Structure 1
Amino acid sequence: MRLGLALGYWGRGPDPGQLALVQEAERLGYDSVWTAEAWGSDAFTPLTWIAAHTSRIRLGT
């Protein structure tokens, strides 16, 4: 079984708590992290930020 983490929407900028959560999920062997997209909130900016601070967890929208 593969586990993923859903972060939801991003606020006004990076949340250090979310980054710590993603890094811990990666350390524990989670397969993926997902971000949400809606009007006024894109999914790619947080994924880019996460990609810069992780090494192997998969990213999705």
Structure 2
Amino acid sequence: MPKVKTHSRAKKTFKVTGSGEIAFAKAFKSHLLTKKSKKRKRSLRGGALVHKANLPFVKRLLRLK
């Protein structure tokens, strides 16, 4: 049986932290920033962790157990 490939976009988007959680950078912070409020841009600045409801799906994309 051949090797199963990791999802290409997922391996660029998600990183596994040292404690085993999965982190990602927030979207909508690349362009058209003048119409977005300071508060919204500030909240997009940091990263975030994958919610536990989405964790099995993301782990399947990354081929983690």
TM above 0.5: no
| TM, length-normalised to structure 1 | 0.26
**Higher-Rg member (1/2):** 2
| TM, length-normalised to structure 2 | 0.25
